[in-house]
């Protein structure tokens, strides 16, 4: 039998109207969808309704799982004058070196200092290696 605002178990009578309404809603769902026994469903619905009320105004903090917690990635890329270090989405190279080794060494130092990743490319532009210095 579904409960409503006027017809509900005695154990819900001492709850505030807001919590009682939520408890009734939860109770009906537990009884209908979960086929839960009333002796278990009533205290469960009260507990969940109280939790709902206490957490109702709280904001849930956003996690940074989908966001980078560091700066822009650095790339060691082929350049007309040798090898360059370029930040992610930058139009120009930050540094240009004659050898790839010099560019990689400098890129590692910068990436380590700024908690970034260093992506090293081959002469043809394909990715050779990715080194992450994220903490």
Spell out the SS3 assignment of 21-69: HHHHHHHHHHHHCCCCCHHHHHHHHHHHHHHHHHHCCCCCCCCCCCCCC
Question: Given this model, what pLDDT does residue 133 score?
Answer: 81
Is the confidence at residue 70, as pLDDT, over 80?
no
Range of the domain at 18: 10-55
**Residue 53 structure tokens:** 């009320």
Asked, for residue 120, whether it belongs to a domain, the answer is yes
Q: Are residues 124 and 93 in the same domain?
A: yes
How does pLDDT run across 73-127, given as a tens digit for each residue?
Answer: 899 999 999 999 999 888 999 999 999 999 999 999 999 888 889 999 999 989 9
Q: Are residues 80 and 34 in the same domain?
A: no
Average pLDDT over residues 17-38: 91
Domain count, the chain: 2
């Amino acid at each position: 039998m579904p409960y409503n605002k006027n017809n509900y178990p005695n154990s819900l009578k001492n709850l505030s109207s807001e919590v009682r309404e939520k408890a009734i809603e939860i109770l009906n769902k537990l009884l209908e969808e979960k086929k839960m026994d009333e002796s278990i469903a009533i205290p469960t619905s009260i507990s969940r309704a109280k939790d709902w009320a206490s957490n109702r105004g709280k904001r849930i903090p956003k996690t940074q799982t989908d966001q980078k917690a560091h700066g822009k990635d650095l790339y060691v890329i082929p350049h007309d004058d040798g090898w360059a270090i370029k930040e992610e989405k930058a139009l120009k190279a930050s540094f240009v070196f004659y050898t790839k080794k010099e560019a990689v060494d400098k890129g590692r130092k910068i990436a380590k200092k700024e908690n970034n990743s260093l992506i090293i490319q081959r002469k043809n532009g394909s990715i050779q290696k990715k080194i992450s210095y994220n903490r």
